[in-house]
Each structure stands twice: as C-alpha cells, then as structure tokens.
Chains A and B, each alone.
Chain A
Amino acid sequence: MDKEQIDKIVAKYHGEPSALIQILLDIQSENRWLPGEALQMVAEALDVPLTRIQHIATFYKAFSLVPKGRHEIHICMGTACHVRGASRVLDTVEGHTGIKPGETDLDMKFSLETVNCLGCCALGPVIEIDGKPHGRMAPAKALEVLKNYE
C-alpha cells in the first residue's frame, strides 16, 4: 500500500488517534493484510507509538501481519458447530491442506482460520470459503468442497 492510500484512510478519520483500530480495519480490508511499512506510516500520521500499533495488530483477530492465500477458509468452531462435530472437520481440513489455523500454505492457495458462530447454526457444522457458507459439513464432504477451489 502506498502513502497516498494510507493518508486517505487516515484523513477519513480526521487523523484522530482514537480511530486507530478503525483505520487499521480499513487498511486490512483494502489490502487483506497489514504490511510493516503501513504500520509505520500510520504511527507517524497519527503520532502514536509503534508499540501500541503492534499490540493492536496482534491482539485483535481481524488483523493479519502476513499476506493471505487466494482462498480464505473459515471453519466455524462455535459451540453449536462444536457439539455437532466441527473439530473432526477441522482436523481433516488441516490434514488435507497441511496448514493450521492462522496459517497460509506455501502455494498461497488457502489460508485457514477458525471463527465463532456464523449465525447459521441450523446448518452446523459450517465452513465458509471466501465468504460463502457451506452447511452440514462432515470430514469427507468438506474435502469435496475444497476440490472446487484452485
């Protein structure tokens, strides 16, 4: 991300340091991750210590300090999905993709995350790929779904 884009986002919040989290969220959603230089630029623009930004960027789940893969797999680990066997789905997806939650594979194909309750517990266990929910998952079925992504 270049300085111009960052300045624009910062300006939207009138350079208000209390908007730091909102600014980082905007950068995250535009860029899909937070590069180190971007954090440095935000620190300067808002005049807040980098330690605070670093803490925020690692404290909240929405932020990623590394680039994401082409497809984002979100496996719901909400309580309802858990009691319906979500962890077996997660185990199988981990085995298949070779990555753990929070990681991205070497081909940059998949990033894996666990999330909590997507609001469609009736269809649990649920996984969401690139924002599209797939319900009533089971280990073998999840692998079928993953085959559709390149």
Chain B
Amino acid sequence: MPRINSPGELEAVRREIESQADRAKPCVLICAGSGCIASGAAEVIAAFRAEIENQGLAVDIGTKGTGCHGFCERGPVVVLYPEEICYLQVKPEDVPEIVSKTLKGKEIVERLVYADRATGEKASRESEIPFYKNQQRHVIGSNVRIDPKSIEDYMALGGYTALSKALCDMTAVEVLGEIKKSNLRGRGGGGFPTGRKWEESRNAPGDIKYVIVNADEGDPGAYMDRSVLEGNPHSVLEGLIIGGWAVGACQGFVYVRQEYPLAVENLMIAIEQATEYGFLGQNILGSGFDFKVTVHRGAGAFVCGESSALMTAIEGKAGEPRPKYIHTAIKGVWDRPSVLNNVETWANVPLIIARGADWFTQFGTEKSKGTKIFSLVGKINNTGLVEVPMGTTLRDIIFKVGGGIPGGRKFKAVQTGGPSGGCIPESMLDLEVGFDELSKVGSMMGSGGMIIMDEDTCMVDVARYFLDFLADESCGKCVPCREGIRQMLKILTNITQGKGKEGDIERLEELAEVAGYAALCALGRTAPNPFLSTLKYFREEYEAHIRDKKCPALSCKELIAYYIDPNKCRACMTCSKQCPSNAIDGGKNRIHVIEQDKCTKCGTCFEVCPSRFGAVTKISGAPVPPPIPEEARIITRESKQK
C-alpha cells in the first residue's frame, strides 16, 4: 500500500482503484450483518464461494460479505451487482440455482425475490421493494456496496475525499463553520448541536484536546450504531479525523462495547489501513496535521454511554458519571477539552463536508436536519434498520417502511429513546419525527431505537421492564437514582403482580419527580420517563392492575391464567405434549384441562394450539371456571363412530 502524501496522490490512487478490472466485474453481495448471520448468512457466503469456484466463474464474478443491508426481517439478503437483483431469505441450497440461472443465464429465480405478504406483488430490485423505496439511505446505504475490511472499497465510493477537502482546501475554522451551518445535531441522545460542541472545545484553553466516538450503544433494543461501525467503519473514522482537525485535537478515541467483537475487529483493521495510506499518523495528506486513534473497548455498563462516565472509563476507572457543571467539551478526559459524538453523528460528517451543508439541510425539518437511522423492531412486519429524512411521520415509518403489525394485531404504541424515552400512543402516529417533536410528547429521539408494541403488550410491564434494566445499570452513586429506581421498581413489580395499592401511582410520581430534579446524571434524571409516558397515555391500564387486579393486555404472568375452552378443545394433544411442566391433563379423545396449580404460565399451550381450534385462552381479572367433570371430558367423534 502506498502512503498518500497529497490530495493529488489521493485522486490518482482512487482512479487506479476504480479502474481495476475486478471493480467492474459482477459481484455477489451477501449481507453479513448480525441479523443475517443469525439466519445463516455465513453458510450462504461459503456456498457462493464454493459454487462459483465449482462452476469455474471465480475469475469473472466476485463475492463479498458486507455490513447490514437493513432488511434483517428477510435475511440472509443477497444482492447481485450490477443488475441489483435482490434475493431474500436465501439458503445454501438455493445457491447452485442462483449461480446457474441468474449469474450465468441472467434469469431471475422468482421464488427468492421480494413478494408483498399482503398483495403478493413482486419486486426483484432492492430499490423497488417498499421497505427500501420509502427510505433515504445516506449513511447506511453504502453498507450494501462495501466489504468493511477493504479500505479500497470505501475509497472507490469516494471515501477520504472529504478528509482531503477538509485538510487541504479548507481551514479548520471553515470546516467548523460548515458543520455549524449544516445544523447537524447529535444522533446519540439529546440532539445537541454538533458544531456548537466542537466550537466550545476548539475555543477552550489547552494544547491537548480529544475527539471521541461513542459506540457504546447502550439502548437495549437497538443496533444501528453497531451496523454502521461493522459495515462501514471508515466513514466513522473519516468523520473523526475531520472533527479532530476542526477542533484542534491530536488524538481520537473510539469507545466501543466489547459485546460487538466484529465492530472492534473491523475498526482495528480500518485504523491499520488508514494509517498505512497515511490518513492517520503524522502530516496527514501533507497538510501538517497529526492525528492518531485509540480504541477503548467498553466492558459492559449502560451508564458508560453517558459522556462523563464514558470519559472516566477511558481513564481506566469504573464508569461513574461526574457532575457536568463544567462541560466535558471543556474539561473531559484527564480534564482536557474532549468532544464526544455518536457513531452516526460522525458518519454524517464526511457527507456534509463532501457535499456541503446546503445539501444536508435540504433533508429534514426546520430544527432537525438530515436523515436518521432507526432500529425498527418489536411487533412489526419488517424488522430492520431504516434511514429516513427527519420529519417523516411515525405512521409512514411503521406502516409504509415497516409494513405494519404482524398477525392482524392492532398497533398500540411505539417506544422511542430507549430507557430514557417514552411510549407514544396511536393517536399520535402522525407526529413527524424530530428531536423536539419527540421530546414534546414525553419521549425522545435517543439514539434511534423504535420498538413497536401491539395490543398484547402491557404498558405497565414496559415501564417495569425499563426500570428493572436501570436498577441494574445505574452506577449506584447518587441517592435519587439508586434508591428512587429501586423503590419505583418495587412498586411497579407489585402492581404487575396484583399487589398494587391505592396511592401507588402518587408515590411513583413523587419518586419520579425527585429523581428528575436531583439525580447527578441524565441516566437518573430521565429514568422515570418510561413510567411517566405510559402513565400519561395509558393510565387506565395502571388502574386496572391496581383496582381490578387485571392486566388488560393479558400479559402480566401473575394476573392471568391459561384456560382451555372445553367447547373448543378437539383433543389434538398438541398442547399436552409440549407443555414443559406437564400441567395439562389430556389424553386421546379427552378434552384437555390445565391443572392450574402446576401451570407455570409459560404460554406454550396458547402458542401451539392450532388456530383452527383456538381453544386455549387467557383470563385476567376473573376466576378460572372450574374444570369440567371427568365424565364430561370424553369426545365422541362422529366420523369414527360410523
């Protein structure tokens, strides 16, 4: 690899990479994101390599495992370039057919292309699939085209030209100005204006300054930062170097959770490659700018996503937050000015520098510019990563992109913002997503988790779930957070177990208020949000649990009973065979009965009872009817009587 010493040399190397013969040749791009790998992508990649070799096509056709394409629901996802044919849920058995039919014969394997589950309408190209069609994939789009372990792939798409522009054609102050002009706001939490933060650090006294990537991704139901870092690590790195230049920092850190081993690996490789090409190190691109990057693996603590805790952890200590009456932009790691931004924030920086602030501000709303990646999960048809312009309505994201709620169930709420966020009810589905819009309704943007809940989700349990998470994840230093969460969790657990009392809601509200005012860091101050938002929009569910000992969503284990309707049971024995606790009294031609004292309420019978019978039901807030007498249990089957 040659070291590149000037923008001119960069352009020459880039041209050469582009012109290399194997860039033009057809290529099989297989998603190797965590979702697709779990669905068997590794085997599919191996099958393609073997089959292409077998059929003697290795010279003409390339194979690439790439980062997450986003459509995890239908993984493993395979895209064939240059035609951009997209095959879904590909299994190793399908590979020989794809190779001989499509790669050789240019014929489409109909069975593997996208078919709308409702209408049956087909689409063979990624861009025609409704899931993709309604997105604007500036940040995550390149994932599809790039082998994350190849810097050349990134450079072929124009990678590191933004860095060259920033260092050689612009002053640091101009770069800062461009970011300020773009109105880029932080993608990791509160939506703080990125340019302002950079400026604060730039103007802070001190020769040694740091820029940091927050890749701790603590939100327990989200994986967009993971996918960007795993799939396109150079985009984050390029952003970070540009940020270093603008701020006047000499060193960058990437704080990445060790639970993401592939992200760590790809990042390490990226740093090595960037150093070899001279994008990191001394005198970058001949500009005189020196910059190095260190990776710090996070050892598993949600609170370390908080800026001051993260910086404490980088110093090699237990990640307890520090008071921030003086911003970390001024006094951060080792008390030096330190700019912390989220993975996606950094990944937007090269785009803004390369294409200009004016390009960026075309997208989004007045106060929230650009696009945002959401991790759309839960009770949704198209689970996956979606990137849409800010200002897209929740309804469009959930129904147009996400394809609505599975199993004909009814939408109930969407949770955004992770443990600091809240639940938004159906009546607000036309809300346009943006930092301020989400905060106004009692939730927040957070880092982009979006969990869809249907009528089977109990909102009291959702609040309990997040407080349970936080009781474990609070650092435990300050009283309102440690004790407030502990007490709130106790009360909420009691409520979900039918032990709620009058006055519980008021006690919860008081604990919430005090934590909101008095906790040292934002973890504690925002911890009450899941409770407050569910109380605001679903108060009747709290009351039903407390007063009637009833869970309206039929979800809280202690408040429901499983019951087999004797009029519907056809003695198919499916449930009695699968019940892990042997709690179902059944037998051939005998109506099945659940022995309530043995039932552990795992719900297996409810799930396995064939839908044409639908005999297993859940009861809440009412007694279970007594079991029918032995003699009445015999089913005489007419067909067999004859």
Docked CA distance A78–B379 (Å): 13
Establish whether residues A120 and B317, one from each chain, have CB atoms under 8 Å apart when the complex forms: no
A45 close to chain B: CB less than 8 A: no
With contact pairs A79-B451, A124-B377, A126-B38 given, residues A88 and B602 touching in the complex (Cβ less than 8 Å): yes
Q: Cα distance A61–B220 when bound, in Å? A: 14
B278-322 interface (Cβ within 8 A of A): 296-301, 313-319
Bound Cα distance from A116 to B226, whole angstroms: 13
Q: Which of A60, A88, A95, A133 is the one whose CB lies under 8 Å from B38?
A: A133
Q: Is the CB of B34 within 8 A of A78?
A: no
- A106 adjacent to chain B (CB < 8 Å): no
A119 contacts chain B at the CB level, 8 A cutoff: yes
Q: Would you give the 0/1 interface string for A74-102, flagging 1 where the beta carbon is closer than 8 Å to chain B?
A: 00011111111101100110011000000
* Chain B 64-100 near chain A by CB (<8 Å), digits 1 or 0: 0000000011010000000000000000000000000
In the complex, whether B258 has a CB less than 8 A from a CB of chain A is yes
A66–B539 alpha-carbon span in the complex (Å)? 44
* A62 and B299 contact, Cβ closer than 8 Å, known pairs A91-B602, A143-B580: yes
A117 B220 Cβ-Cβ under 8 A: yes
Task: Fill in one digit per residue for A11-25: 1 if any B CB lies within 8 Å of its CB, else 0.
Answer: 000001111111011
Count of chain A to chain B residue pairs whose CB atoms are closer than 8 Å in the complex: 155
Q: What is the CA–CA distance of A126 and B301 in the complex, to the nearest angstrom?
A: 21
Known: A25-B258, A140-B604. A123 touches B318 (CB 8 A): no
Are A117 and B379 in contact, with the CB atoms below 8 A? no
Nearest-neighbor residue (CB-CB) of A52 within chain B = B317
Tell which of A21, A83, A88, A133 touches B457, judged by Cβ atoms closer than 8 Å: A83
Which bucket holds chain A's interface residue count? Answer: 35 or more
| Chain B interface bracket (under 10, 10 to 19, 20 to 34, 35 or more) | 35 or more
Q: A139: CB under 8 A from chain B?
A: yes
Question: Distance in Å from the Cβ of A60 to the closest Cβ of chain B?
Answer: 3
Asked if A60 and B607 sit within 8 Å, CB to CB, the answer is no
A79 touches B220 (CB 8 A): yes
Q: Which of A55, A62, A78 contacts B221 (CB 8 A)?
A: A78
B384 within 8 A of A: yes
A95 / chain B contacts, CB cutoff of 8 Å: 580-581, 600
* Distance between Cα atoms of A44 and B457 in the complex (Å): 52
Residue A117 contacts which of B222, B299, B384 (CB distance < 8 angstroms)? B222
| Cβ-defined contact, A121 with B465, below 8 A | no
Within 8 A of A (CB), among B424-463: 449, 451, 453, 457, 462
Report which of B223, B318, B418 forms a contact with A121, defined as CB distance below 8 A: B223
Judged by a CB distance under 8 angstroms, whether A69 is at the interface is no
> In whole angstroms, how far apart are the Cα atoms of A21 and B317 in the complex?
7
The reply to whether the CB of A43 lies closer than 8 angstroms to some CB of chain B is no
User: Which residues of chain B in 9-60 are interfacial with respect to chain A, using CB atoms and an 8 Å cutoff?
Assistant: 33-35, 37-39
Decide yes or no whether B375 CB sits under 8 A from chain A. Answer: yes
Residues of B within 8 A of A22 (CB): 296-297, 316
User: CA separation between A138 and B608, bound complex, in Å?
Assistant: 10
> A24, B299: Cβ atoms under 8 Å?
yes
Closest residue of A by beta carbon distance from B257:
A62
Chain A residues near B222: list those with CB within 8 A. 117
Q: Does A82 contact B38, Cβ atoms closer than 8 Å?
A: no
The complex places the Cα of A21 from the Cα of B313 at a distance, in Å, of 8
Measured CA separation A79–B301 after assembly (Å): 17
B589 to chain A, nearest CB (A): 23
Considering the chains assembled together, what is the distance between the CA atoms of A60 and B296 in angstroms? 14
Which residues of chain B are within 8 angstroms of A123 by Cβ–Cβ distance? Answer: 35, 38-39
- Are A122 and B297 CB-contacts (below 8 A) given A84-B379, A115-B259, A140-B604? no
Does B251 sit at the interface, judged by CB under 8 A? Answer: no
Whether, in the assembled complex, B164 has its beta carbon less than 8 Å from a beta carbon of chain A, the answer is no
Instruction: Output the residue of B220, B578, B603 with the most chain A CB within 10 A.
Output: B220
**A35 contacts the other chain (Cβ, under 8 Å)?**
no
User: Which residue of the partner chain B has the closest CB to A135?
Assistant: B38
Closest to A79 in B: B221
Q: What would 10 A/B residue contacts be, using CB atoms closer than 8 Å? A: A19-B316, A60-B319, A62-B259, A77-B469, A79-B221, A80-B383, A83-B451, A122-B72, A139-B603, A140-B579
| Ranked 4 nearest A-B pairs via Cβ | A79-B221, A119-B34, A61-B300, A60-B299
Q: What is the interface of chain A, defined by CB distance below 8 A to chain B?
A: 16-22, 24-25, 52, 55-56, 59-63, 77-85, 87-88, 91-92, 95-96, 115-124, 126, 133, 135, 138-140, 143
With A60-B318, A95-B600 given, name 19 new contacts (CB 8 A): A21-B297, A22-B296, A25-B299, A52-B318, A60-B298, A61-B300, A87-B557, A88-B557, A91-B600, A92-B602, A95-B580, A119-B35, A120-B35, A120-B38, A120-B72, A121-B377, A138-B604, A140-B579, A143-B580
